[in-house]
Each structure stands twice: as C-alpha cells, then as structure tokens.
Amino acid sequence: MVKPEVYKELGLTDQEYQKIETIMDREPSPTELAMFSVEWSEHCGYPRSRKWLKLFPQEGKYPSLVGEDSGGIIVDDLAIVFKMESHNHPSQVEPKQGAATGVGGIIRDIFTAGAKPIASLNSLRFGPLTEPYNKFLLRGVVDGIQFYGNCLGVPTVGGEIYFDESYSGNCLVNAMSIGVCHKDQLARAKAVGVGNPIMYVGSSTGRDGIGGCSVLASHEFSEGEEKRPTVQIGDPFTEKCLIEATLEMLATGHVLGIKDMGAAGLTCSSAEMADAGGVGMEINLDDVPLREQGMEAYEIMMSESQERMLVCVKAGHEKEIEDIFAKWDLHGVVIGYVTDDKNLRVKYQGKVVADIKTEALAKGPVYDMPAEKPAYLDEVNKLDLATIPLPTNYNEVLLSLLASPSLANKAWVYEQYDHMVQTNTVVLPGSDAAVLRLKGTTKGLAATTDCNSRYCYLNPYRGAQIAVAEAARNLVCSGADPAAVTDCLNFGNPEKPDRFWYFKNCVMGIVDACRELYLPVVSGNVSFYNESPKGPINPTPSIGMIGILNDVNKHCTQYFKDEGDIIFLLGESKEELGGSEYLKVIHGQVAGEAPALGLKVEKAVQKVVYEAIGLGYINAAHDCSEGGLAVALAECCMSDQNNMIGAKITLVPGIRADAALFGESQSRIIVTCKKENLCKIEELAIENNLVCNELGVVGGDNLEIANLINLPVEQLSQTWRSAIKL
C-alpha cells in the first residue's frame, strides 16, 4: 500500500487514490501515480468545474470551432483561433518567468491548431500599489510579457489591469492569443492510425515545472510557502523557431495530430491525444531528449519544460519531419507509436513503468461540489444612498478617480509591448478595443478583455453578465460585430461552498448573457485555489472576445475628433452607485448591488452604434463604464495625446449629481457626430426604443460639465497619465 503522504504530496485525496487502485486493479507504480495526479488535477482535468462548463453555448453568428486546445470561428475561408489561459500561481511565485511562460503557452495552443499567431492580449490583477511587493509583481509580470512577446514577434495589442486588496498574495495573470489560418489548414489534437509514429518535437526536457499543475495550480498559497521549483522557464527564441518549424511541418500534410506539452507535459499530451483518437499509445522515455541527467520516469512524464509538442505523423514521413526541426536547431525524434489497445504504455530503461487506460487518465472524475451563498453578502448588498454625502468639490473627485490605478492611464505598461510587429495593428492600445487587419481581405478583427470583479463579488450572476456585455460594447465601439468568447475563470478554493457558489453563479451569468447576445464560448480555462492567508480573490471571470469588421477602414476610436461635433449619450443613466469606483475611492465603501443590466436594452444600444458606425454617422464612440460618465468624457478628451480637446456638457436632470457623473449604469455609450448626422442617429435610436440624450459639443481647452466640473484637459491628462509610473 502506498503511504498516504506520498499521494497527498501529489495533490490526490484518499478517495482518488482508492479509485486509482480500483481502476488499475493493483497498486499503481510511482510513475502511474504521478501521471494520475497531474491529469486529474483541477488545472488539467477540471473535475470540479467540468459539469458547469458544458452549459456554455457553442453556436453563434459564425460557424464555431470548439473542442480542441483552442477554439475559434470560421469567417469566409479563414479560421480565427483564440484562447485565454491563466498563469496566476507561477506569476505570484516568480513574476517574470510566470508571465513569460503564460504568454508562450497560450501562443503554442494557437499554432498547434495550425494558425499563425497574430496578436496577444492580457488581463491582469494585483493588490494595491501602496504595497512594495505588489509593485514588484507588476514590474515583473510586465517585464515577462514584453520579454517573451517582443522576442517572439507577436504583438501585444490590448488588455486590462485592475488593483484590489483581494489580489494581495495572489495576483492574476491571464494571457490571450489569437491566430489565423485558412480553414483547411486546421490541425487536430489527436492520435490516429495504428502503427503511426509519435514524435517529440521542440526543446529538451528538464526538471523545471514538475508538478506545476497539481502542486502549484491546484492549491492555495500558505503562509511563507516556497514553490519556485515548480515554475517553468521559457525561451522565446526557441519558441520562435518552433512556430516556424511547426507551420512548415503542418504544410507537408503529413501530420495527423498535434498537441502542446503544456500543463502536465508529456502525460497530458499523450493521454489526451490517444483518447481523442480512440486509440492507444506506447512511448519510450529513453528516446526523449533530456537536458538533465538522472531524471526519473515520473519526472519526465510530469515535466512542464517549455517549447515542446507531441505529434502523430503518417508512417514513412518521420525523416522529413526530423529534418525540418533539425533545420531550426530543434529536436524531432520518434518516441513511440499508435496502438490498438486504448492503453497508454510508458517504457523506461527496459521496463514498463506505466500502463493505463487512456480514458481513465483523460476522462477523470467529475465532482458535484456543494455551493452556498456567503452569509455576509446580504449585509454587503445594503446601500442607502441617503447616507452617502454629496461631494463639495466635483473637480477634486474627478481628479481622484483619474488617479486611481484601476482607472488611470496604463501607457507605462503597454508602451513596453511591441504592438506594431507584423504590421496588422490598426487601432493601438488605449481605445476601447484593439483592431487588426486580416491581411488579404478587406475585413478587420477587433479584440478585448473585460471583467469588473467588484461587480462579481457583489452579485456574481449579474457581474459575469456585465463582463460579457461590456466586452461586446467595447467591440461595437470599435466598429466590430461581436462574434465569439473565450474565458478565464479565476476563483478561490472550490472545496469551500461559498467560493464555489460564486463560480456557479458567474458561469450561469456568462451562459445566459452569451445566449442572449448569440455568442459562442469557444475556449477557455478555469483557475481555482486563488487564495492566500488573507482570503480569496474577488471572483474574476475574465472575458476575452473578438469581433469582425466587414470593412477594416470603417473602424472607430474613443477620442473626440473635431471642434463642433455633437456629443450625445445612448442609453439611460440611473441613480445607482453600488460597486462603483467612486464609492470605493471617495467614500471607502465596497457595497450595494452591481449595476442593473437589461440585455434587451444592451442589444439595442449595441445595434444602434454598430449600424451608425457602419453608415459613417459616428466620429467617436466610447463605452461608459468604471468611473461613470465624467471619467468616460475625460478619456474622450485626452486619449489621443496628439489631439486633446475639451467639451461643454449639460447633464440630463432627474438623478443626484454624483450618480449622474460617477455612477456606473450599464448599456451606455458616448458618441459624437457632425450636426448633419444627429437626426439620423436619433432616428436609429427611436427605431430601437433606445434613450438618446444630446449632452453638448466638442471644443475648447477645458472639460466643462454643467456647473459642477470645469478642468483644463491638460490637467486631466497629467493626472491620468502620471498615476502609474514605477
């Protein structure tokens, strides 16, 4: 009998070990036990979340690609492949390498699908910058992203960063990547054809990252815990060669299946490829290229060394594949072959060290986790606006909000990223969404990442819906038609019912919002156990979304363009302050309900703006979100540093001034147009039963809002741009 401390050290429970013994009908070998531990971990097998992930809609406006390491959509003859994934725990331990290997891993998921990576985005969360370690994490993560992405030649074109106390002790680093190929060039992650060779390609295997998915990504951080050895080390120059070699290999037509060796390394790629193809596989670890001596079989199978992939090749073409990788100074070696017994058999040093049914590994247990609403939430949701005093100086409030790190300008971050390499980028970072040209066509691709975790803390169902709705709004403001979703679901310990309640309700919010907006969820990732001794992170279901522009030249940006343009607001401002940045920064409260959201109104505002941009009526469009109307107007005035311009605004009467200025009512978009187009936009709004209020006019050097705010745009810009400089 294996001692409990052995399998528990690998992250397995008593019940899971007993189930393994039942499956094997014997005591598992050390290698088999290690393989089960990584493949059944939450990071790989999703045993606690899989039941809920099956609810995501998979149909939308374009044909969907779902079911591989990355998903996507078909647009004409193009396959657009994209995915978001977490690298939270490694980044908390070693921020530069954690973030770098997160970027490298998600990009490998794209090109192993046969697509050329064309863009990266990210969604980041840190504790307050008043704490020195959080500054260290931010610097390290940004350094890792720029180091890997810039060296690789894949532009980082967009993202988001928020700061909150809940992330002190557990930062979030969610990486997203997008690739494009002809739809006939898509590759599959499966092994087929008995006798066909299995080839290991890429870099060599070391001890870095061993157990990363089971030991690091599937447990909470404890006080003083040291897990640096489980963090992988990445080499972007090797990955650049790997991209070129892989795409060249796929072009031969000799590849039957391919999978990245990401989480769980060789265990995951071999077991899941064999199971997906309904076959078995035999591999010999003596043939695996190693960079360290004396490695045990379980170490080779668990290693998460970077820049490696597993390939199923048509028999007789091994030498051709080997030569391609040799040309790029990479390994390309046969380590096994496809069998007909549906077992994964692993040999090492003349012995069989593992022999397991592939289905048992790849389709592990599914748990029905208990969920319970936190007892504190009813009290937190109470907010009496009568107890919130109105500001005595609205100018000071606006400046304070613009200096809040979550709202402040992020140029210090994104200016370290190369966002112009490959020359596809049409709209640079700093607007509502990135816009890329799809070369060889007239079309464009827009992309964004979004999530307000404070809303999800206050109301997980509605907060997750808002994340979907805001991502779609950002794409519409760029002129794109929202097309498909990837997600990265970041939560605390799922074994605690109150944490799992947040997860379940966020999932249902995403499900219902995507169904209403007709958006498929084509890929994603779950990251549990995001906790520290201080407690869990705020529930953070990050949404990555892409949209399609039929004519990339008809894109739109958020900043004001010309003096005399008319400014108006589509959508209704409500008297609500719950969960707002204003309530947190100015009044020190996280309370109330998340803002109300009506998905039918949301669809109407998106439809009107999308059509008006397509018809050429709109000069600028900007989603009204965190910080409310006043912050959104300020961003419109100063986002383009080369063309900053003021505005004169009148407020729509009916609600208290701070809610009108700083409330975060949903389904609102600020737009501008020439005078001659005003009636055309108003007609579109009336046709769609949408509230449309003229606010004012572009012009001057100041932002003037009623008789409450009057500040030079230059002062607004200086405050906003100088808040984050490390």
Give the DSSP letter string of 306-369. SSEEEEEE-TT-HHHHHHHHHHTT-EEEEEEEEESSSEEEEEETTEEEEEEEHHHHHS------
- Residue 86 labeled ligand binder: yes
Residue found under tokens 């045993």: 47
| CA separation for the pair 44, 39 (Å, rounded) | 6
- Residue 89 labeled ligand binder: yes
Contact status, residue 496 vs residue 467, Cβ threshold 8 Å: no
Model confidence band, residue 509 (pLDDT cutoffs 50, 70, 90): very high
Q: What is the DSSP string of 621-683?
A: EEE--TTHHHHHHHHHHHSSTTS---EEE-PPSSS-HHHHHH---SS-EEEEE-GGGHHHHHH
Q: Is the pLDDT of residue 494 over 90?
A: yes
| CA separation for the pair 12, 6 (Å, rounded) | 9
Residue 586: what pLDDT? 97
* Six-digit token string for 265: 């390394």
Q: Is the pLDDT of residue 392 over 50?
A: yes
Q: Against a cut of 0.85, is the pTM above it? A: yes
Residue 8: what pLDDT? 82
Measure the CA dihedral 660/664/669/670, to 10°: 40
Measure the CA dihedral 615/618/620/622, to 10°: -80
- Residue 298 labeled ligand binder: no
Residue 214: what pLDDT? 46
Q: Where are the domains of the chain?
A: 1-39+189-364, 556-726
- Residue 62 labeled ligand binder: no
Residue 226: what pLDDT? 46
Contact status, residue 49 vs residue 62, Cβ threshold 8 Å: no
Contact status, residue 628 vs residue 580, Cβ threshold 8 Å: yes
Asked if the domains 1-39+189-364 and 556-726 are classified in one and the same CATH topology, the answer is yes
Model confidence band, residue 228 (pLDDT cutoffs 50, 70, 90): very low
| Mean pLDDT to the nearest integer, 140-166 | 95
What would the pLDDT profile of 669-696 be if each residue is shown by its tens digit? 999 999 999 999 999 999 999 999 999 9
Examine the residue annotation and report whether 87 is marked as an active-site residue of this protein.
yes
Residue 42: what pLDDT? 87
Sorted by sequence, the CB contacts under 8 Å of residue 405 that are 6+ apart come out as 128, 129, 161, 163, 723, 724
Residue 224: what pLDDT? 47
| Mean pLDDT to the nearest integer, 74-96 | 95
What would the pLDDT profile of 271-288 be if each residue is shown by its tens digit? 999 999 999 999 999 999
What would the pLDDT profile of 608-638 be if each residue is shown by its tens digit? 999 999 999 999 999 999 999 999 999 999 9
| Mean pLDDT to the nearest integer, 586-590 | 97
The CATH superfamily holding the domain 1-39+189-364 is: PurM-like C-terminal domain (3.90.650.10)
Residue 148: what pLDDT? 93
The overall average pLDDT reported for the chain is 93
- Residue 92 labeled ligand binder: no
- Residue 648 labeled ligand binder: no
Residue 248: what pLDDT? 96
CA angle, corner 268, sides to 264 and 273, nearest 5? 160
What would the pLDDT profile of 215-225 be if each residue is shown by its tens digit? 444 556 555 44
Residue 221: what pLDDT? 54
- Annotated catalytic residue: which of 43, 219, 419, 555? 43
Three-state DSSP at 460 gives helix
- Residue 527 labeled ligand binder: yes
Return the H-helix or E-strand segment holding 160.
strand 156-163
Q: Strands across the sheet with 308-313, in order? A: 255-260, 308-313, 197-202, 331-339, 280-284, 343-348, 351-357
- Residue 306 labeled ligand binder: yes
- Residue 108 labeled ligand binder: yes
Pick the range with the lowest mean pLDDT from 152-166, 417-431, 693-707: 417-431
Model confidence band, residue 147 (pLDDT cutoffs 50, 70, 90): very high
| CA separation for the pair 470, 57 (Å, rounded) | 18
Residue 66: what pLDDT? 82
Residue 235: what pLDDT? 85
- Residue 46 labeled ligand binder: yes
Model confidence band, residue 103 (pLDDT cutoffs 50, 70, 90): very high
Burial of residue 49 (CB within 10 Å: 0-12, 13-18, 19+) is: buried
Residue 210: what pLDDT? 77
Q: Is the pLDDT of residue 666 over 60?
A: yes
Nearest by Cα to 71 from 57, 89, 51: 57
What would the pLDDT profile of 549-578 be if each residue is shown by its tens digit? 999 999 999 999 999 999 999 999 999 999
Top CATH class of 556-726 equals alpha beta
Pick the range with the lowest mean pLDDT from 2-16, 613-627, 657-671: 2-16
Query: In Å, how far are 409, 426, 458, 529, 637 from 642, measured between CA atoms?
Result: 15, 17, 39, 44, 11
Residue 506: what pLDDT? 98
Residue 206: what pLDDT? 92
Residue 220: what pLDDT? 62
Query: In Å, how far are 86, 119, 539, 559, 578 from 172, measured between CA atoms?
Result: 7, 20, 11, 30, 24
Q: How far is CA 255 from the centre of its chain?
A: 29
Residue 264: what pLDDT? 85
Share of the chain above pLDDT 90, in %: 88
Residue 230: what pLDDT? 55
Cross-strand partners of 79? 74, 181
Model confidence band, residue 1 (pLDDT cutoffs 50, 70, 90): low
- Residue 299 labeled ligand binder: no
User: What are the φ/ψ torsions at residue 306 (nearest 5 degrees)?
Assistant: -85, 170
- Residue 424 labeled ligand binder: no
Residue 211: what pLDDT? 61
Model confidence band, residue 306 (pLDDT cutoffs 50, 70, 90): confident
- Annotated catalytic residue: which of 87, 331, 555, 622? 87
Residue 10: what pLDDT? 86
What would the pLDDT profile of 316-336 be if each residue is shown by its tens digit? 999 999 999 999 999 999 999
